[in-house]
Amino acid sequence: MYAIVNKRCLAEGIYLMDIDAPRMARSSQPGQFLIVRTHEQGERIPLTICDYDAVKGVITIVTQIVGASSRQICIKEKGETLLDVMGPLGHPSEFIHLSKEELAQQHYLFIAGGVGAAPVYPQVKWLHQQGAKADVIIGAKNAGMVILEEEMRKISNELFITTDDGSAGTKGLVTDKLKQLLAEGKKYTHIIAIGPMVMMKFVALATKDSGIPLTVSLNTLMVDGTGMCGACRVSVGGKTKFACVDGPEFNGYVVDFDEAMRRQVMYKTMELDADHKCKIGLDGK
């Protein structure tokens, strides 16, 4: 059992929780994720690690209500527990292997779409602690859905906000701001995009001729998280990869996003049905 020691609402349907998990807090690194289960029959939900504090022994997760299982996490309150929290899983971000001298040469651009700001945060924080330069674009539907803005402002070199309706920052998509920055002559050494699959696809299309390496983090369906079940299968560079053990980060230019998007919605009807039962209390939880 893992106790929820803090909970806060970041935006409508998006919750941040600090979880008491000392061993995980000591071993987590930027780019990794974990799998949460709320009860014995519960679905296993992959969530990116938003922060970790080895001294306090807590890890921070951010969950958006998108179906029954994420709702079952989000309705938990401070003082309640999650049945299992398994992790950290997946490879950490590649940049953690660079020396201080190599990091000093880099100028990263992070593109965070919606809840994608949560997994971007620990990466930018780690780079900031190493003295490396990272600009960040956070894109959201509207001002109310922009999350972690103040936290990100403290650790990023430059922070740009875009909203689809123009209610905060610049009106438009993250790709509009990206194209503008590149057109202005910004010399980024690496772009890292994390957010909706469709956003990552269009970031890849926008930057493919720029010569700038692009890393994306794939939030596929997952079950075991250990490379056994195949649920997280993706095609990368024409080869089958498992996002849980080979990723979650991949070269964004060779990911088959169309296939990944098709697989992501495979169980949509069942998910909607389960969420309806969860809302009206028929799921027994």
Q: Which residues bind ligand NAD (CB under 6 A)?
A: 48, 113-116, 118-119, 139-141, 162, 164, 173-175, 194-196, 198-199, 202, 217, 219
198 makes contact, choosing from ligand FES, ligand NAD, none, with CB < 5 to 8 Å by partner type, with ligand NAD
> What is the rounded distance in angstroms from the CA atom of residue 205 to the CA atom of residue 141?
21
Q: Which is nearer to ligand FES, 32 or 207 (CB)?
A: 32
> What is the rounded distance in angstroms from the CA atom of residue 16 to the CA atom of residue 13?
10
> Using the rule CB under 6 A, which residue among 15, 160, 242, 250 binds ligand FES?
242
217 makes contact, choosing from ligand FES, ligand NAD, none, with CB < 5 to 8 Å by partner type, with ligand NAD
DSSP classification of residue 148: S
Q: Which is nearer to ligand NAD, 22 or 256 (CB)?
A: 256
> Using the rule CB under 6 A, which residue among 151, 164, 176, 224 binds ligand FES?
224
Phi-psi region of 250 (alpha: psi -120 to 50; beta: other; left: phi over 0): beta
Q: Does 86 bind ligand FES (CB under 6 A)?
A: no
Q: CB under 8 Å to 168, separation ≥6 — which residues?
A: 140, 142, 143, 146, 161
199 makes contact, choosing from ligand FES, ligand NAD, none, with CB < 5 to 8 Å by partner type, with ligand NAD
Q: Does 230 bind ligand FES (CB under 6 A)?
A: yes
Q: CB under 8 Å to 154, separation ≥6 — which residues?
A: none
Question: Buried b / exposed e across 174-203, counting CB within 10 Å, b at 16+?
Answer: bbebbeebbeeeeebebbbbbbbbebbbbb
Q: Does 266 bind ligand FES (CB under 6 A)?
A: no
HSE (CB half, 13 Å, CA atoms) of 196? Answer: 16
Q: Which residues bind ligand FES (CB under 6 A)?
A: 222-225, 227-232, 242, 244
